[in-house]
Amino acid sequence: MLFHELNRAGCKTYLAACGETNRAVLIDPLKDRVDRYLAVLAYYRLTLDLIIDTHTHADHRSGVWDLRELTGAKLVMHRRAPAPHIDIHIDDGGQLQLGTLHLNFIHTPGHTPDGVCICIGDRLLTGDTLLIGGTGRTDFPGGDPGAQYDAITHRLFTLPDSMLVYPAHDYRGNVCSTIGDEKRSNARIVGRSRDAYIMLMNNLGMPLPTKIQEALQANESAIDDDSLKFPTLAQLNEVRQLDPTQVETRLHSANPPVLLDVREADEFSGELGHIPGSILVPLRHLPERAKDLEKYRDREIIVICRAGVRSTTAAAILGGLGFEHVCNLKGGMLDWNDAKLPVEH
């Protein structure tokens, strides 16, 4: 197996390739280094088959969509990933094969709901779940320190001690660690109970990444268009959230809400379907189509997407345009389907 870290910086991108077939995978690529990755692939005469983001990144723009468009490689993320244009939605225990390489996926929520770690031979790519001597922060939207503690202690720390650990971030010059070393010496988690870990993570008080405003919602929506002004995190936090049962109850009321689905057209008619009666206005077209929604200004509008993330952005945009009765379907069509509520395709 050919295996390299390509960035030589705090944010890590990994290349793995089958030595027999020259088929390759890139994991956690950065948008501003896509040209470098293409040059490396050409140098080794590799064919890029798969691109993986281990989670939705908040501190940099992802390069997965540029690479997907330029190479035709398939984009892989966890099924809870909020973005469109993902070719393979992987779940816990999922496996992919790349020539002689076997990629085994472990769902590790906590840093984000869609976090995964990837076993490739004797290597474990841990994303932002397990770092060298630390763990990924859990104060971003959807973060859950309890879930992260469980994922690390019940899943990752049960792997062989000799398993090599390659995280998505390291700012202290480390290259890799092992599961055994992290079980013995990771100061963030070793020796702490679950409750103590939750308390610690909830009180870290870390500053937000400098690029979170430009990176997070762009990565959640796969929109690379400066004409769409993303709301601030404070505006996102003001959006009222409704779970699927609350939305279902409202649909049967005397004054049912307007259902606004902001996914892409292929998602609207795809695997998850859509709620009967929904209006489709993809997020990227919302500013120019907002005038079409003026007739609903005095009605309640419930915004919908895959995981409840893009729709929160859309709801905040509508709020900024003066729509006062806007709510979001929490968990999106994923949770709606899990609740076995009606859908159309």
Exposed/middle/buried for 246, CB within 10 Å: 0-12, 13-18, 19+?
middle
What whole-number distance in Å separates Cα of residue 32 and Cα of residue 35? 8
pLDDT exceeds cutoff 80 at 70? yes
Question: Would you place residue 141 in the very low, low, confident or very high pLDDT band (cuts 50, 70, 90)?
Answer: confident
Residue 220 lies in a domain: no
Domain assignment present for 238: yes
> 74 and 197 share a domain?
yes
In tens, the pLDDT along 229-256 reads 899 999 999 999 999 999 999 999 999 9
Taking the CA atoms of residue 119, residue 125, residue 126 and residue 128 in that order, the dihedral angle to the nearest 10 degrees is: -150
Q: What is the CATH number of the domain that holds 313?
A: 3.40.250.10
pLDDT of residue 173: 85
Indicate if 247 and 295 belong to the same structural domain.
yes
**Among 202, 237, 255, which residue terminates a domain?**
202
**Together in a domain, 194 and 236:** no
Owning domain of residue 307: 225-338
In 3D space, the residue among 69, 43, 40, 67 whose CA is nearest the CA of residue 53 turns out to be 67
**Pairing of β 74-78 and β 47-52:** parallel
Is residue 67's pLDDT more than 90?
Answer: yes
Token representation of residue 282: 């993809």
Is residue 161 domain-shared with residue 248, that is, in the same domain? Answer: no
Give the helix/strand (H/E) hosting 329.
strand 326-329
In a domain, 314, yes or no: yes
Examine residue 62 and state whether it is found in any structural domain, yes or no: yes
Instruction: With a cut of 80, say whether residue 63 has pLDDT above it.
Output: yes
Please give the radius of gyration of the chain, using alpha carbons only, rounded to the nearest integer.
21
Query: Does residue 214 lie in a domain region?
Result: no
What 3-state DSSP class applies to 333?
helix
d(CA 318, CA 287): 9
Mean pLDDT of all residues belonging to the chain: 96
Using pLDDT thresholds of 50, 70 and 90, give the confidence band for residue 9: confident
pLDDT higher than threshold 80 for residue 88: yes
> What CATH number has the domain bearing residue 120?
3.60.15.10
Whether 239 and 183 share a structural domain:
no
Q: Looking at the structure, tell me whether residues 36 and 182 fall in a common domain.
A: yes
pLDDT at 53: 99
Q: Poorest-confidence range of 1-15, 123-137, 147-161, 201-215?
A: 201-215
For residues 197 and 123, membership in a common domain is answered with yes
Strands 258-261 and 301-304: parallel
- End residue of a domain, out of 171, 202, 233: 202
* 104 & 25 share domain: yes
pLDDT at residue 223 is higher than 80: yes
Answer yes or no: is 215 within a domain. Answer: no
Q: Which of 202, 237, 269 is the last residue of a domain?
A: 202
What pLDDT, on a 0 to 100 scale, did the predictor assign at position 148? 99
How confident is the model over 301-317, as pLDDT tens digits? 999 999 999 999 999 99
Residue 99 lies in a domain: yes
- What is the torsion angle, in degrees rounded to the nearest 10, for the CA atoms of residue 200, residue 201, residue 207 and residue 209? 150
pLDDT band at 60 (very low <50, low <70, confident <90, very high): very high
Do 107 and 27 share a structural domain? yes
Number of structural domains (the chain) is 2
Distance CA 25, CA 140 (A): 27
The pLDDT of 28-35, averaged and rounded, is: 97
- Tell me, yes or no, whether 33 and 165 share the same domain: yes
Residue 199 CA, chain-centre distance (Å), reads 24
Pair (136, 262) in one structural domain: no
Domain shared by 141 and 47, yes or no? yes
- Over residues 266-312, the pLDDT tens digits come to 999 999 999 999 999 999 999 999 999 999 999 999 999 999 999 99
pLDDT above 90 (res 64): yes
Cα–Cα distance for residue pair 84/260, rounded to 1 Å: 17
Q: Compute the distance between CA of residue 41 and CA of residue 267 in angstroms, rounded to an integer.
A: 31
Q: What pLDDT, on a 0 to 100 scale, did the predictor assign at position 8?
A: 86
Mean pLDDT of 35-43: 98
pTM confidence score: 0.94
For the cut 90, the answer to whether the pLDDT of residue 87 exceeds it is yes
What's the pLDDT band for 214 if we cut at 50, 70, 90?
A: confident
pLDDT tens, position by position, 42-54: 999 999 999 999 9
Task: Give the CA diameter of the chain.
Answer: 65
pLDDT band at 172 (very low <50, low <70, confident <90, very high): confident
Phi and psi (nearest 5°) for 15? -110, 125
Q: Is 162 within a domain?
A: yes
